[in-house]
Structure 1
Amino acid sequence: MAVTAAGVFRRTPLERSDQRVAWRRTNQAFFAAGACHILAWVCRDTYPDRAIGTTGLRFADDRQVFHVYATWAGWAFDHAGWNPEPDLLAVNRDFERRPVERVPLADDLAAFCAAHHHRMPHRYWRDPIPRARAYLDRYAPPWTRGRS
C-alpha cells in the first residue's frame, strides 16, 4: 500500500463525537485518524525483540501531535503499512501544506494519551487492540522482506 497522508482520512464532526460511527470506518481510515496511536503501540509491543519506537507528527508551531506511527531503522508503520519514514514525513507535509516535525514519544501509552488528549483503548466503542493486531498482521515487516 502506498504511503498516504493521515489527513486524507480526517474524521468528520460526527465521527469525532460518536464512537460507534467512528468504529464503522474502514480499517485504514480508523487507524489513520482516531486510533493511529493504538496501532503504533500494538506494533511496538508485537515485536519486543526489535527496537521499535513510537513517533508523533505535529505542525512546527503546535505542541499536540496529529498522527502517531511506529518506527524501526528508517522505516515507519502506520495505516499505510511499512514505508520509508522520509516518505511518510513528505506526504504529510505536502498534504497539510505546512511544515511538520517528528516527535519521539514516551514508551508509556497512558502517559502519551494523557499528555496529548488521545483515547486509551478502553475509551473506544469496542476494544481496538484486536483490530490493530489483525491489521498489523496484514503487513510483512521490513526485516522479513526478501526471505523465502
Structure 2
Amino acid sequence: MFLPKVNVKDDPVRRWHRPDRQFFANGACQVLAFAFLDRYAGFGFHARWIKPAAGFTGNHIFVTDGHNAFDYHGLTTEAQLLSLCFRRARRFHPGWKATLVDLPADALISERRSRPFEGLWLREPKQFLHDALPRAQAFLDRFDNLRDRLITASASCTSRGAE
C-alpha cells in the first residue's frame, strides 16, 4: 500500500507523472499485474486482490503463485508482501482488515469485467493519461533476471538441476 501525500488520483497529468513505483502502487497496480501475467504466463501465477474490510481503504492487486509474489516492490514472498501491506495499513488505520480475492487476468484490464466483484472498479490501461500497459511492460524490463529468479525460486530439491 502506498499513501500519497496529496490526492493525485483526480488529476490525470499529476497521476501519470509520478515515479513508476508510486504510479503502480497507487492506482495502476492492476495494469502491472496484468503485464506480469502476460509476460510470465507459464509460471503458475494469478492475480490476487487485497480487499479492505467495509469502512477501510487500501486496495491493492499483486500476482502470486502461492509462495512468490510480485508487485511494485519487485519479487518477494507472498507472506512478506502481505505482512508489509497489513503493517503499513494498520499504522495509518488501526484495526485495518482485508480479505484476499483471486481475480481473473481479464478483469485487470477491463472496467466492465472488474465490476462484478463487489467493491472493485478497475481503470483500464487506456483510461490513464496515456496507455499504462507499455509503461508496465517497461517497468518489468527493469527486472531483467526475473525469469531466472522465478525458475530458481520455484525449483524444489527434487527438481532436475536444482542445487
Q: TM tier, shorter chain? A: 0.7 to 0.9
Tell me if the contact between 1:113 and 1:119 (Cα under 8 Å) persists in the aligned partners: no
Q: Superposition pairs for residues 1-148 of structure 1, below 5 Å?
A: 6-7=1-2, 9-10=3-4, 12-13=6-7, 15-61=8-54, 66-97=59-90, 98-109=96-107, 110=110, 111-112=113-114, 115=117, 116-139=120-143, 140-141=146-147, 142-145=149-152
- Deviations 1:27-85, CA, capped at 9 Å, x for gaps: 00000011000000110011122221000102234698710011124111100001100
Amino acid at match of 2:97: P
Q: Kindly state the Cα deviation for residue 112 of structure 1 after the two structures are TM-superposed.
A: 2.1
CA distance in 2, matches of 1:37, 1:118: 7
Tell me if the contact between 2:37 and 2:105 (Cα under 8 Å) persists in the aligned partners: no
Tell me if the contact between 2:52 and 2:99 (Cα under 8 Å) persists in the aligned partners: yes
CA distance in 2, matches of 1:20, 1:76: 30
CA distance in 2, matches of 1:89, 1:12: 25
- Deviations 1:111-132, CA, capped at 9 Å, x for gaps: 1267412211111101111110
- Superposed CA RMSD in Å reads 2.4
- What is the identity percentage for the equivalent residue pairs of Structure 1 and Structure 2? 26
Tell me if the contact between 1:57 and 1:67 (Cα under 8 Å) persists in the aligned partners: yes
CA distance in 1, matches of 2:13, 2:115: 20
Residues 82 and 62 of structure 1, relative CA distance in 2, 3 Å threshold: farther
Q: Which has the larger radius of gyration?
A: 2
- Deviations 1:89-113, CA, capped at 9 Å, x for gaps: 1111111112232211123231126
Structure 2 unaligned runs (5+)? 91-95, 154-161
Residues 24 and 113 of structure 1, relative CA distance in 2, 3 Å threshold: farther
Of residues 35-44 and 67-76 in structure 1, the stretch that sits farther from structure 2 once superposed is 67-76
Tell me if the contact between 1:55 and 1:105 (Cα under 8 Å) persists in the aligned partners: yes
Q: TM-score, normalised by structure 2?
A: 0.75
Aligned residues between the structures: 140
Structure 1 unaligned runs (5+)? 1-5
CA distance in 1, matches of 2:55, 2:19: 28
Amino acid at match of 1:50: F
Q: TM-score, normalised by structure 1?
A: 0.82
